[in-house]
Structure 1
């Protein structure tokens, strides 16, 4: 009898844990359905507004969603006048973006961490770095054309557009470490390298990953601008530019939507990484 009485609290705790788990799963399911519902509604409203605006303007230069969807299918299956399909244009642009983005991450993140840990170095070089940061990436296009060729031209322009904002955001993320944790570690005799590697940098990782997600937008801006001025025939920017000169606005809009879809997929991928790596972080709900 005594053993049975001892086992009863264990069973009750197990049942409570299972109930809490079921409630949590149900809440996540409700939240997911709510998000899907709101996104579906916003997409429907956008399409209706687009179709209504197209009918109101009644212009061939602002085609509606039905015309654009037919053009999308044609480009998807048959391709453009050069024979390049829409997936191939998207693949080439995405490949260029990822290369330039990767090059910027490999340089901006380590440098941002170093200068975030030793801010006097940043303040001592600010007279050079800050003016360079404010030069628009488009201003570098003539130099990119002169000194680079082929793929290197695109990688350089994307690197310029991504490096400086990622560098600044990384450096600021490193400086947000809790002074309390740092002071406690110093009192306990921790070395500077231990504090940097075990406290400051891990604390900055969520901000760094968030910064990487944020700078994907300027990366796409740079690749579209670079492809528009390049002499090559492939790429979403080139697709938009070529058919804009022919006043084929339906193809232009297809290219714009393709860039938006790729950006959405990359953003969702980064958000999935954030949710996986930083589960301990909780969003503040109002």
Structure 2
């Protein structure tokens, strides 16, 4: 069984490597056939990556500085979204009356794209506050809705059993309801982090701060240096993948029983 799992893992890695090789080959062939300065090949992009990592951009910021600032902003906003959405989601899931009262307000707002909040945030907020707000808007609703759904799925049999043994409401919430809802909460955190990461990149393009991956992309797009633009895009994708993998790994370690059931 273990040997088969290892073979499947190796097979998956080989297929993944093959798909990447095919992608870069098609990219290089397209760059050669078009012969356009607006479609650099992989080698030109690699050169831009090394240059940006070693010497920095026209303002002196390296790729590491841009990446670190974007991650810092998104983690602050994401953390704020988590500490506000999870308690509110538990409360709304436990109290149908509160849920009914809040739904007419929350439902229309959650359908507003986070990018639509950018002009308002620029006018009303400044500096780091505008980025935290935009990430909070993007990450808040996935976390909130998943938390509510997880709380509502709590087995009433477990709750009734706890009441029979004399457990109070706070004990039931902390010992039964929240642990039962935790898988859905983690799923909401993963989705919220992904949305928040996309929001920060869009916000940095317009926010006016000199450092950040979004700002790097828009700055070099205006200069028509597409190789650096692609470096920024690839960096955004890789960091997003790493952040998503981090939460997935935490999910698997916390909820091994879910993985076993799926297998």
What's the TM-score once normalised by structure 2's chain length? 0.91
- Superposed displacement of residue 179, structure 1: 4.0
2:52 aligned partner: 75
| 1:271 paired residue number | 248
User: Residues 239-278 of structure 1 correspond to what in structure 2 (within 5 A)?
Assistant: 239-278=216-255
How far apart are 1:30 and its partner, in Å?
2.9
Corresponding residue to 2:196 among 201, 206, 219: 219
Q: 1:229 — aligned with what?
A: 206
Check 1:172–1:56 CA distance in 2 against 1; reply closer, same or farther (3 A cut).
farther
Change (3 A) 1:74 1:123: same
SS in 1 for 2:256: coil
Aligned with residue 132 of structure 1, among 109, 114, 128: 109
Q: Take 1:52 and 1:170, find their aligned partners in 2: how far apart are those partners? A: 47
Mapped to 2, the partners of 1:216 and 1:53 lie a distance apart of 34
Secondary structure at 1:126 match in 2: helix
Partner of 2:42: 65
TM-score (norm 1): 0.84
Deviations 1:46-90 (A, max 9, x none): 222222332333322122211111111111111111111111110
- Segments of 5+ residues of structure 2 without an aligned counterpart are none
Report the equivalent of 2:121: 144
**Matched residue, 1:16:** none
CA drift of 1:254 comes to 0.4
Residues in 1 aligned to 2:230 and 2:261: alpha-carbon distance in whole angstroms = 37
Following superposition, the deviation at residue 224 of structure 1 comes to 1.2
Q: Any idea what the Cα deviations from partners look like across 1:127-155, whole Å, max 9, x if unmatched?
A: 11112212222222222122221111111
Q: Corresponding residue for 1:119?
A: 96
* Counterpart-to-counterpart distance in 2, 1:254 and 1:152: 27
Q: Is the 8 A contact 2:150 2:184 kept in 1?
A: yes
- RMSD value over aligned CA atoms? 2.0
Alpha-carbon distance between aligned partners in 2 of 1:145 and 1:79, rounded to the nearest angstrom: 27
Is 1:161 equivalent to 2:117 in the alignment?
no
CA distance, structure 2, for counterparts of residue 46 and residue 211 of structure 1:
31
- Over alpha carbons, which structure has the higher Rg? 1
Q: Which residue of 1 aligns with 2:181?
A: 204
SS state of the match for residue 215, structure 1?
A: helix
Aligned partners of 2:212, 2:133: CA distance in 1, in Å?
16
Count the aligned residue pairs. Answer: 263
Match of 1:107 in 2: 84
Q: What secondary structure is seen at the aligned counterpart in 2 of 1:63?
A: coil
**In 2, Cα distance between equivalents of 1:180 and 1:59:** 66
